[in-house]
A and B are shown apart, each in its own frame.
Chain A
Amino acid sequence: MKRFSFFCFLVPLSVFAQDSERILKSCASLLAVNRSVQTRFFFGEKREKFRSDTLSANPQNVRYRAFNYVWAKEYEQAAIWLEKTTTLSPKEHGIAGEFYLAQFRDYPRALTHFNAYDALTPSFDDIVGYNPVSYMRGLTYRSMGDHEKAIDQFSVAIDPLAAKHGAEWVNYRHFVSRAVSYIATKQPEKALVDLEKAAKNFNRSALVQYHRGRALLILNRIAEARTAFQDASFFFKALRAERTGDYQEDDFNPVYELEIDETLAHLKTLNR
């Protein structure tokens, strides 16, 4: 009887065969991952920190260290190391500003860093990542609720470029950002002008159509607004199918499918 119960005890092993095949394959893959020495430890933050301690304190290494703390949401350390990067190299003010704006949502600090970055070359609109610092400053003012200053800064980023090379050379998201501030300051006509230009630069944008709808609503052009929101809904779904994952056209100007659908539903009730 005892031998029988022992036999039963071993039987469940076969149940796991499928799972075990996967485990064995993943271990074989891990052997392959270990075939060479990697320079960074993406999944071992303590090992990565140990490695960081051995690196020279140049701005790139210090910035990378700050990034690691931001990802881990260790805000105290992240802020300390971000400030260190700017002490080591004033050029780091741009990236620090972007981090305070996008990750920390700390607008006063972001503005301080963008101003310091821009002051390095007063006659030139320095670039932060893919955007001019004036645009980043515009986003910061907008987040602080100061749309007038935001429009000024967006215009610094947009107008000289459009005048020199044409509106088609302007990032469509920049037009959208200025349009958002125009809408907020009850200037829907100006918003529509910007959104038309944005649509020319990306004619399948749900983001552009959504804000067109908002501007048209303010002008009480309900039928056109409904069409714009319907286009936004269509483009949104098309983009979602095209780009797998949790897609967002512009993190600084988020638009949500539910928001579009709710607006459309509200417009239907207006018709009744």
Chain B
Amino acid sequence: MNNGKHCIRLFHLVAIRYSRQATFFIFHFSFFITHYSFTFAQTPTREQLVGTWIGVHTEWDLDFACALPIYIQLDADSTYHLGMVDGSASKLTSTWSILGESVRLDTIHFAPRLVSLQNELLRIGTNYPMVFRRFNDIPLDSATVYEQLNGRIWQSDSLTISLFANGQASLENTLAKQRTAHFWQLAQFSKSIFLIIRGNQHNRDSGYKALWQINSVSSKQLQAIGWNGCKIAAEPFRLVRNLSPGDSCRPSGFQTCDNCFRQLWAESTLTRGQKRYDIVQLFTKYYQPVNQTGESGLVRIQFVVNCEGERGLVEINGFDEDYCPRQFDPRITNQLSTICSEHIATDQSIRQSDSASGLFRDISISLAFRLKDGRITEILP
């Protein structure tokens, strides 16, 4: 029990820390990322490490990665730079070295083999591996690139990108037909041009969605280097058409504001401490018992409320008294869902990340009810 509480506390601390800062990107969930945790690679040599490394993604879990908008520059004279690819923050400068099998970056001494080179990718760590690719400078004229990209729809085998003249952008998974809305801009890194996709359907905040280095662009073709959902590649895009004034940039469904959102990280606990009182009162007041023998067991309702108060990703599951999955009478589940929708999802205070600043965040709610013959007997913690 103590271990459990410790882990939950630790989880919440880091989840708050990272979910707020939201720097990363997930392309789509269906692709499994190769798991290297147990691969024992050799520590690379100094000569192999010298150069500039562009962040690709952080592998937070086996099937969940977020964009890594940073670069690492390791100079031959032992100078180390850590900066943002789009130059939006002052870079950190220090030194680096290799001591035996261990690499040191600034004051961080990595254990042997935790900095490794695999298939031209620099992988750092096995807890939450950070993946970088070697940077090759491709000189391009930024104004020309902007002129070619602006106001057009580009499509690869897996992705359709619409780049609106007002700075909005949409990304659509070609197969799943799922579209998310963001903002785009170009950033110059050395002599290269990067296409930066960040923000959400509402504003430019909430982190990075994707960063692609433009390899080449013409009026009909675009080639961009980056993570395409399964590998790092120079992805070819073809011009679909110019955007017309009638085209709007909208997500195809529910979209979280945070580009690196995970339900378990963003869970708002409403059934512990003092908040429990309000939840118990709420369901006591609004739930009308459905007196029906056999409607017993657990109903679990999970949903997400984004920073703007929109509700989505609703999932309702039932379990019988032996914890086997089962369906409950819709009069029960519909009532519970409606109460959640009308009285919990609309409560601004649960989305407020900082009462002083008035900022809101995406939150995930998970409630479980114990029922006996259609009556709520307990709300689980």
Residues of A within 8 A of B (CB): 2-3, 5-6, 9-10, 12-17, 19-24, 26-28, 30-38, 40-47, 50, 64, 67, 70-73, 75-76, 78-80, 95, 98, 102-106, 129, 245-248, 251, 254, 256-259
Contact = CB atoms under 8 A, between A and B. Distances in A.
A76 B3 contact: no
Contacts of B15: 43
Given A31-B124, A103-B380, A75 B300 contact: yes
Nearest to B20: A22
Nearest to B125: A34
Q: Which of B61, B69, B204, B366 has the most CB of A within 10 A?
A: B61
Nearest to A23: B23
B41 to A, nearest CB: 13
A58 to B, nearest CB: 15
B37 A16 contact: no
B: contact size bracket: 35 or more
A38 B127 CA distance: 6
B49 to A, nearest CB: 14
A23 B84 contact: yes
B157 to A, nearest CB: 26
Contacts of A80: 323
A82 to B, nearest CB: 10
Given A35-B108, A73-B300, A95-B1, A2 B143 contact: yes
B33 to A, nearest CB: 10
B274 A257 contact: yes
B12 to A, nearest CB: 10
Contacts of A105: 370, 377-378, 380
A16 B84 CA distance: 11
B230 interface: no
A20 B89 contact: yes
30 contacts: A6-B142, A6-B146, A9-B167, A12-B185, A13-B87, A13-B185, A14-B88, A23-B84, A24-B83, A24-B89, A24-B92, A27-B55, A28-B106, A35-B109, A42-B10, A43-B11, A43-B264, A45-B264, A46-B64, A73-B302, A73-B366, A73-B368, A75-B319, A76-B324, A79-B323, A106-B370, A248-B272, A248-B273, A248-B276, A258-B277
Contact of A102 (B3, B23, B381): B381
Contacts of B181: none
Contact of A47 (B35, B58, B124, B370): B35
B146 A9 contact: yes
A251 B323 CA distance: 24
A30 B128 contact: yes
A20 B88 contact: yes
A238 B17 CA distance: 28
A118 B89 CA distance: 62
B204 A34 contact: no
B35 A34 contact: no
A64 B2 CA distance: 12
Contact of A31 (B108, B186, B276): B108
B143 A3 contact: yes
B242 interface: no
B52 to A, nearest CB: 15
